[in-house]
Chains A and B, each alone.
Chain A
């Protein structure tokens, strides 16, 4: 199989200086993300997954190791690595359309093309009726859809998502997860997503990069073989799938730190 690596994370470590001495958040983490794949970073709290995502985004610098996107070393944030945050980041003073156009405006995309692309992505996240609305009139889920459309319209090489549905209620979260899969299938976007929600990870991921805590280290990479060749569209389909309960149990065990490295799925 031809693997087309887009993001490489090599021996990345991160140490934060604090008053009580240095705290090691990440140690020697290496993995890569393949083009068009949805890769999930999963792990118990304190495993440094959000820190790792921030390092990939260029918002923080690694203490050791290095990262590259399409062979180019990562230094600081850039358009190629667009990020969607857990908190609502729609700019309240801009309408939905202006929000989605925002990134393209920063990057000097001409007005006509900007408008066209923005409208396309607004349709993609089903917000067509709200293009001229201000964020204050939108629900939390709709605000996250604005953020996703805004980042995608900016044509990143990879979309980084930091617990994007963490603040949403369960039902909205399902819809958002299903919509994300739909978007991935139509746009072939490469995504690196952080979550602590096991079901979300299994539902969305092509591959799960599992980190253990204190310090954050790569524990294992799960390939989710039971999903291959299946087009899962809803949560119901997922939980009925053969192999799902075993997979979930396996990850739960990893979360508790009970599993030994050899009985994990490679």
Chain B
């Protein structure tokens, strides 16, 4: 018996077995490895970037090194009042997203709950989903000018249709037996909606919001690059005019950092609000 096991490929000793286990499908790796690998990819990225600068592949005006970009970032905040631009951008995302949620959450829940509402709105919403929001920019510019209204409208159009669809789908997947339980306990239609459907769908609705908020940031940049006198995108377009590539890159960095921050905040909110959930992932 022992003989057989030792001869089998399963009993292969030491390192070979270990690599095998690391590349096992979906098998877990130690937490320290996960952190180390996560840091490593960034170290590699910045290292290669710096190497590209040193090699003189492009002039430093077009490709400034990581150090220079960080310097530009500091200057932007400390001397150029960049914080104001950031605040304006964040404000635009928040306001347009709040408006989108104010429409999408109730409408999505109603569409997911009642077939009539779904039959009425679904063909309309589905069609709009396939119209790229940026294609409305020329129209929006003519209707609203280059001001805030145009940007809010673009951000709104950019997320609303997907948000409605996702929320409707999550509402639809509320288990039928939960609804039937409430109904056989004497729940009225309004009571079922308020005490079963909304709380049951809410965790997934917050996940949908998190996903669509990330999309909202994408449209923000598009809106601000097209026409704006303030905001992160506007700063980047100003920097382009003066060939301040370091500032453009600093802008990209800030947008990325903000996106991550909001994603993190919504994750934390989800975890705090829905502690009762079976498995949070």
A: residues with CB less than 8 A from B are 57-59, 77-79, 81-83, 85, 87, 89, 91-93, 102-103, 106-107, 134-136, 147, 150-151, 154, 160
Q: By the criterion CB–CB under 8 Å, are A82 and B277 in contact?
A: no
In the complex, are the beta carbons of A87 and B177 less than 8 A apart?
A: yes
Q: Are B181 and A83 in contact (CB under 8 A)?
A: yes
A91 to B175, CA, bound (A): 11
Q: Which residues, 176 to 228 on B, are CB-close (under 8 Å) to A? A: 177-178, 180-188, 191, 195-196, 199-200
CA distance A103 to B185 in the complex (A): 5
Interface pair A91/B184, CB less than 8 Å apart: no
Known: A59-B180, A102-B195. A93 touches B276 (CB 8 A): yes
11 contacts between A and B (CB under 8 A): A77-B184, A77-B186, A78-B184, A89-B177, A92-B276, A93-B200, A93-B276, A103-B186, A106-B186, A106-B191, A154-B185
Closest chain A CB from B207 CB (angstroms): 15
Contacts of A150 in B (CB 8 A): 185
Q: A77-B183, A91-B178, A136-B277 are in contact. List 8 more A-B contacts (CB 8 A).
A: A59-B184, A77-B184, A78-B186, A89-B175, A106-B188, A134-B275, A147-B181, A154-B186
Question: With a CB–CB cut-off of 8 A, which chain A residues contact B24?
Answer: none
B195 to chain A, nearest CB (A): 7
Distance in angstroms between the alpha carbons of A31 and B261 in the assembled complex:
64
CA distance A57 to B186 in the complex (A): 11
B199–A93 touching, CB < 8 Å = yes
Q: Which residues of B contact A107 (CB under 8 A)?
A: 185-186
Contact B181–A134 (Cβ < 8 Å): no
A57, A87, A93: which contacts B184 (Cβ < 8 A)?
Answer: A57
Question: Which listed residue (A89, A106, A136, A151) contacts B276, Cβ 8 A?
Answer: A136
Residues of A within 8 A of B79 (CB): none
Interface residues of B (CB under 8 A from A): 175, 177-178, 180-188, 191, 195-196, 199-200, 274-278
- Cβ of A138 to closest chain B Cβ, rounded Å: 11
Residues of A within 8 A of B188 (CB): 106
B182 touches A106 (CB 8 A): yes
Residues of chain A with a CB closer than 8 A to B177's CB: 85, 87, 89
| Contacting pair B186 A91 (CB below 8 A) | no
* Separation of A58 and B187 alpha carbons in the complex (Å): 13
| B183 contacts A59, C-beta separation under 8 Å | yes
Report the bound CA distance from A89 to B200 in whole Å.
11
Give CA–CA (A57, B177) in the complex, Å: 13
Q: Which residue of B lies closest to A85 (CB)?
A: B177
Task: Report A-chain residues with C-beta under 8 Å of the C-beta of B183.
Answer: 59, 77
Question: Chain B contacts of A82 at CB under 8 A?
Answer: 184-185
Whether the pair A106, B187 counts as a contact (CB closer than 8 A) is yes
The smallest beta-carbon distance between A162 and chain B, in angstroms, is 9
Bound-state Cα–Cα, A59 to B183, Å:
9
The CA of A160 and the CA of B185, in the complex, are separated in Å by 11
The CA of A79 and the CA of B181, in the complex, are separated in Å by 10
* A57 vs B182: C-alpha distance when bound (angstroms): 12
**Chain A nearest CB, measured from B279 CB (Å):** 8
Q: Nearest Cβ in chain A — how far from B193, in angstroms?
A: 12
Residue on B with the closest CB to A150?
B185
The 10 A-B residue pairs whose C-beta atoms are closest, nearest first, are A79-B186, A103-B185, A83-B184, A134-B276, A89-B181, A77-B183, A85-B177, A87-B177, A77-B184, A136-B278
Decide: A91 and B196 in contact? CB cutoff 8 A. Answer: yes
Residues from chain B with a CB closer than 8 A to the CB of A77 are 180, 183-184, 186
A58 — which chain B residues lie within 8 A by C-beta?
Answer: 184
Q: Select A106's contact among B175, B185, B200, B278, beta carbons within 8 Å.
A: B185
Given the complex, which residues of A lie within 8 Å of B180, measured CB to CB?
A: 57, 59, 77, 83, 85, 89
* Interfacial chain B residues near A151, Cβ < 8 Å: 184-185
Contacts of B278 in A (CB 8 A): 92, 136
